[in-house]
Amino acid sequence: MDHKDLTIGIVFLLQSTVGIVGNFSILSCYLIHYCTEQTLKTTNLILTHMLTTNSLIILSKGLLYIMRAFGVEGFISDFGCEFLLYIERLGRNMSIGTTCFLSVFQAITITPVNSFWVCLKVKASKHISLFTSLCWIYYMSINMVFPLYKYTKRNSNNQTHKSGMKYCSTSGHDDISRSLYTAFFVLPEVLFSVIIVWSSTSMIIILYRHKQQVQHIRSTNVSSRTSPESKATHRIMALVFTFIGFYALSSILQGCIALIYNPGWWLMDITAIISLCFPTLGHFVVSYNSQYQCSAFQE
């Protein structure tokens, strides 16, 4: 094992450890609360799905890259490789989807009573479980397209193109696979990202207006400190920049890998590290994001 592989393996190991411990710690708290109270707030329900999807990404991608970086040869079969790639894609898709659900639900929750969206407050709470379940079913089904397509093409051509990713061998890219990937994955991710930015911007505007309305009834001592609205705004901006920044950069790098015939190890490793950043660090921002928004409306 050379120094490069050792360094990359340590980075992946640290990322995976921090991500798994963080996600499972918060997830266990929600599960314990549900077992004792037999109920779970809608926001916490969405966060439960998000933490689960982030854990799937870390477990699948982290395991694959850690074992390969530390020189464990032949530790996984072709079926195991396809299965881990399937879990990774499913986790990424659902992570983006649940983050979108969380952002939209929070925007609806803090909507003023005279807003057009106020009628959605009750409906959103009742139907969020249905939307999340449909999202799981959709992506579990859609992500089966690529393994089936690769298997069919491999049998028909009786050959497999090794893409140069020393981590897993994949079938060569063609116009059909690119079109399927764009239609079923790229476009929904772009749409979800736009919705996240829109809903987060709406929340920031609502919080700013609420701050202006209640500022005159707050005492001088309270107003001299950082207001709850400002804290909530900072949390929202942190979530948006963390999510959009890491996922946008990851998507760009993955697009480069798809277009390059034989991508280098540095591009593969950097892309993998960046793609694990939000699942690893996102729970620090997301888990406390909702409580600051709620506190902003308690005064």
| Residue 295 pLDDT | 44
Instruction: Report which of residues 171 and 122 the model is more confident about.
Output: 122
DSSP symbol at 105:
H
40: helix, strand or coil: coil
User: Which is nearest to 124 in space by CA: 94, 103, 93?
Assistant: 103
Query: Could you please report the per-residue DSSP string of 229-248?
Result: HHHHHHHHHHHHHHHHHHHH
- Range with lowest mean pLDDT among 25-39, 53-67, 202-216, 268-282: 202-216
Is the pLDDT assigned to residue 78 strictly greater than 80? no
Is the pLDDT assigned to residue 289 strictly greater than 60? no
Q: At what angle do helices 228-259 and 78-109 cross, to 10 degrees?
A: 150
For residue 182, the Cα-to-chain-centroid distance in whole angstroms is 18
| Residue 94 pLDDT | 92
Band (136; pLDDT cuts 50, 70, 90): very high
Is the pLDDT assigned to residue 161 strictly greater than 60? no
| Residue 162 pLDDT | 44
Is the pLDDT assigned to residue 134 strictly greater than 70? yes
Structure confidence by residue, pLDDT tens digits, 199-256: 888 888 887 777 777 766 655 445 445 566 566 666 777 777 787 788 888 878 877 7
Distance CA(178)–CA(90), nearest Å, equals: 18
- Tokens 């779970």 belong to residue: 40
Q: Tell me the whole-structure pTM to 2 decimals.
A: 0.81
Band (294; pLDDT cuts 50, 70, 90): very low
Is the pLDDT assigned to residue 261 strictly greater than 80? no
Q: Is 145 exposed, middle or buried (0-12, 13-18, 19+ CB in 10 A)?
A: middle
Region 134-140 average pLDDT: 92
Q: What CATH number has the domain bearing residue 103?
A: 1.20.1070.10
189: helix, strand or coil: helix
Q: CA distances (Å), 6 to each of 68, 70, 127, 296, in order?
A: 10, 6, 47, 47
Gyration radius of the chain's alpha carbons: 22
Most confident of 108-112, 136-140, 291-295: 136-140
How many domains is the chain partitioned into structurally? 1
Instruction: Report which of residues 125 and 60 the model is more confident about.
Output: 60
- Range with lowest mean pLDDT among 59-68, 130-139, 160-169, 206-215: 160-169
CA atoms in the 13 A half-sphere facing the CB of 275 = 25
- Average of per-residue pLDDT values in the chain: 76
Domain holding 52, by residue range, is 3-295
| Residue 123 pLDDT | 76
Region 128-140 average pLDDT: 90
